[in-house]
Structures are given as C-alpha cells and as structure tokens.
A and B are shown apart, each in its own frame.
Chain A
Amino acid sequence: MKDNMRTLIFAGVLGLICALVLAGVSQLTAPYRQANERAEEVRNYLSALGVPGWQGVSSSELLKVFEQNIRVDQQGKRTVYEYIPSSLSQAKPIAVAVPFSGTGLWGPIRGVLALEPDFTTIRGIRFFDQQETPGLGGEIGAKWFQDQFVGKRIVSAGGDPGFRITKPGGSTQINSVDGITGATMTSERVQVILDNLAKELLKEKSSHVQ
C-alpha cells in the first residue's frame, strides 16, 4: 500500500515536472516557430510569383515585402493572391497565385501555383509542407522539378484543362512535366492534385467571364 502510494506520487511528480518543462520550452519558442512557419509560406508565395527582394531577408522584412506587393482577393470560395508591384501605380495584377493542397504518398502536400494573368500559363510553382520520401518524392520540393513548370500551361494544346506528370523524359505536351525517377507514387498524386486544380480553375474562370 505504501509502495503503491509512493509509485503514484513519483509518477505524478515526474509527469508534472516534464509537463512544466515542455510547456515552458513551447512558450519560449512559440514566437520563433510561428514566425518561421508564416515566413515559410510567404516565401513560397513570393518566389512562385517571381516577386523580387525575398531572398536572404529576415522573417519580418519578408512579411513587409509580402504586404507591399501582394493583394489578397477572395473570388468565390477561392483565395487568390494578386501580385501588384508596389513600384507601379497600376491596379491590374501582373500575376496571380492560388494555394492548393492534396494527398501525397506519406502525408498532405500543400503548395502554391502562380499563373500569368491569363490564368492558364504557369509562372511558378512551389510545394511546401510535404513529407514525401527524402531524395525521391521529396524532390518535388527541389528547384529542378519546380523549374520545369515555368512556361507550361494548365490547358492542353487542344484546349482541354488538365495537367500531366509523365514518366521521366517523356514530357512532350505543353501541359505536362517529367516525373521523378523512383517516385512514381508521389508523381501520380501530384498529378491528381494539379489536374483537379487546373480543371477547377478553368471552370471558375469561364463562370467569371460570363
């Protein structure tokens, strides 16, 4: 009985100390972590849109660049990030970015697709928040993979909305890019995400015009 009490008290005290330590650490690091997370997202938007002045700056400066150049616009259910350079007085965006998300191989994939004002030509793409296999599927976060998208379109040559990720070296269409060797599963899932996004965007665009 005495032993049981001792065990209970020990467990309680140890648990309490551990919890207090962790709560303290979490409190202390929270502002840094949140700033990092926010800056990460903002950096992806800026680099996908091709906004200058985001490289090698601190998190707070990054947010400033973002606020000066990006207008967040709600179009129906979709949030659109419009790039309107602070240096120009024009009100028309020179590029737009739409966030997207979907299921990857190991976890959710989130990213942002930047398009030219025509809403069909790709200006840039960034995948962030992904847990694909490092070195394989994780390469969707790499520059070489993302650079392939620049100048491609989310509409086929025949005018049908959609996007393809082909076998490595097999990309010949205006709306396709090469997949990643050894990461067929990730490539397939990314294709599903982008294909759906392309179709949704084009549908929304046509309803806008009407």
Chain B
Amino acid sequence: MSSDSQSRQSTALPVSRVNYLGIVKDGVYRTNPVTYQVLGICIFLAITTKVENALVMGFALIFVTAMSNLIVSLLRNSIPRRIRMIAEVAIIATFVIFFDQFLKAFYWDMSKQLGPYVALIITNCIVMGRAEAFAIQNPPLPSLVDGIANGIGYALILVLIALFRELIGFGTILGYTVLSPQWYQRNILFIMAPGAFFMAGFLIWVLNFINPPKQAEAGK
C-alpha cells in the first residue's frame, strides 16, 4: 500500500509548505472546474436557467466537494488502492443523498425546481475529480480547502451564466422583472441547452483571452 501511495505522490504537496492561497486561486480561477477543466457541464446546462437554482446548486457543490474531499483525505492511507474509486463514489453519494433529503424536508419548493439534478451531483466529475486528483494524496486540511475552492469556482460560474440566461431568457433576475415583457421579447434560445453552450464557450474565450492558458504559451 505504501508504495502505491508513494507512486501517486508526484503532485502531492509537502505538509510543511502548503500553499493555501495557491489552492484557492487554482480552484476558483486558474484551473476553474468549468472554464478550465470543462467538468460538470451536465448540471451546468440544466440548472443555470435561473439564478436562484444556480445559487442552491452552487452551495450543494461546495458542501459535497468539501466534505467528500475531507473524508477521502482522512481515509487516504486506509483505502485499498483497487477499490478506491468505488470508495470515493460511496462517500460522495452519501453526502449528495444527505443534501437531497435535507432539501426535500426543509426547502421543498427548491427541491422540486432542481428535480433530479441534486442527485446527479454524484456523477459530477468535479467532485470525483477533486477526490481522485487531490484528496486521495493530500492531508485533510488542504483537501478541505481545495474542495471548498473548487466548489466556489463552480458556483461562481453557475451564478454568472445564470444571471445572463435568466436575464436574456426570462427578462428577470432572481424572479424580479428587469426587462419588461411589454417591450422585451424573451429569447428562448438562452433557456435551452444551446444557449448555455454558447455562454460557456464565450466565457471561456474571454477568460483565455485575459489570461492565456499555460500550455498554449509553452507551445509557442
């Protein structure tokens, strides 16, 4: 087991010099789950039609990624290598179902609006990705920070895209009418999946323009 974990140490950080700020910057901006890694797009397409939904989904992601990262990290030395992905999924699923039941019990209306997409967080590659890429080989505290940072990174993009989609598609923000239906023709394209693809592509383009990805520079 120890040789296994050693062979996976390549990207692990030494305990004494953990760069928390770097972890946060990576998760939120530099390697943002949506705009850089392009992960978790299924949920992203489905629920960014309304800002309110995006906020709740963002919060769910922060909670699940942080908690599953923490637990996976605590167990990282005892999880047998061969079943580590199954173990990760089991841990993630537990937190997701926990959150889903919580919504159903105390925020019924929101739970109805998000429908199956809360349960689908289990298959969100960001959660699994952070467990597999970070938590399984790093100590608990940095893993927790990494989970929160990536969750925030995901949530920010969700809310940003949802702002535009709700405004253009419904003429409202958080349910309040901004563009009056009397003179504004709501654009249904932005409520449908293609609208989200256009928005995401445009956002990635803008972000890459402001801050070109490292590989591209290395390739020149």
Is A bound to B?
yes
A22 x B98 contact (CB < 8 A): yes
Question: Residue-by-residue, is A171-200 near B (CB-CB < 8 Å gives 1, otherwise 0)?
Answer: 000000000011000000000000000000
B83 x A7 contact (CB < 8 A): yes
B113 x A134 contact (CB < 8 A): yes
Contact partners of A18 in chain B: CB under 8 A: 90-91, 93-94
User: Which of A21, A40, A134, A181 contacts B115 (CB under 8 A)?
Assistant: A134
**Bound Cα distance from A26 to B108, whole angstroms:** 15
Chain B residues 98-146 with CB under 8 Å of chain A are 98, 101-102, 104-106, 108, 112-113, 115-116
Selected interface stretch from A8-16, A45-53, A69-77 = A8-16
B188 x A182 contact (CB < 8 A): yes
Q: Is the interface of B mostly helix, strand, loop or mixed?
A: helix
Instruction: Give the bracket for the number of chain A residues in contact with chain B.
Output: 20 to 34
Known: A18-B93, A22-B94. A3 touches B80 (CB 8 A): yes
B98 x A36 contact (CB < 8 A): no
A6 x B97 contact (CB < 8 A): no
Q: For residue B112, which residue of chain A has the nearest CB?
A: A40
Contact partners of A131 in chain B: CB under 8 A: 115-116
Q: For residue B98, which residue of chain A has the nearest CB?
A: A25
**Bound Cα distance from A181 to B105, whole angstroms:** 33
Q: Is the interface of A mostly helix, strand, loop or mixed?
A: helix
User: Which of B49, B80, B101 contacts A7 (CB under 8 A)?
Assistant: B80
B87 x A14 contact (CB < 8 A): yes
User: Which of A10, A40, A182 contacts B87 (CB under 8 A)?
Assistant: A10
Check A90 for interface membership: any CB of B closer than 8 A: no
A29 x B188 contact (CB < 8 A): no
A136 x B188 contact (CB < 8 A): yes
B105 x A21 contact (CB < 8 A): no
For the complex formed, measure the closest distance between the CB of A187 and the CB atoms of chain B, giving whole angstroms. 14
Known: A18-B91, A25-B98, A182-B192. A10 touches B80 (CB 8 A): yes
A25 x B97 contact (CB < 8 A): yes
**Bound Cα distance from A6 to B53, whole angstroms:** 43
B82 x A29 contact (CB < 8 A): no
Check B37 for interface membership: any CB of A closer than 8 A: no
Between B47, B90, B116, the greatest number of chain A beta carbons within 10 A of the residue's beta carbon is seen for B90
Chain A residues 156-174 with CB under 8 Å of chain B are none
Check B170 for interface membership: any CB of A closer than 8 A: yes
Contact partners of A135 in chain B: CB under 8 A: 49-50, 169-170, 188, 191-192
**Bound Cα distance from A136 to B98, whole angstroms:** 29
User: Which of B82, B105, B113, B188 contacts A36 (CB under 8 A)?
Assistant: B105
Contact partners of B179 in chain A: CB under 8 A: none
Contact partners of B216 in chain A: CB under 8 A: none
**Bound Cα distance from A11 to B87, whole angstroms:** 7
**Contact sample, A vs B, 14 pairs, CB 8 Å cutoff:** A3-B80, A11-B83, A14-B91, A25-B97, A32-B105, A36-B104, A40-B108, A134-B49, A134-B53, A135-B50, A135-B191, A136-B192, A182-B191, A182-B192
B contacts, CB < 8 Å to A: 46-47, 49-50, 53, 75, 78-80, 82-83, 86-87, 90-91, 93-94, 97-98, 101-102, 104-106, 108, 112-113, 115-116, 169-170, 188, 191-192
Q: Sort A-B residue pairs by CB-CB distance and give the 5 closest, nearest first.
A: A32-B105, A29-B105, A135-B191, A7-B80, A36-B108
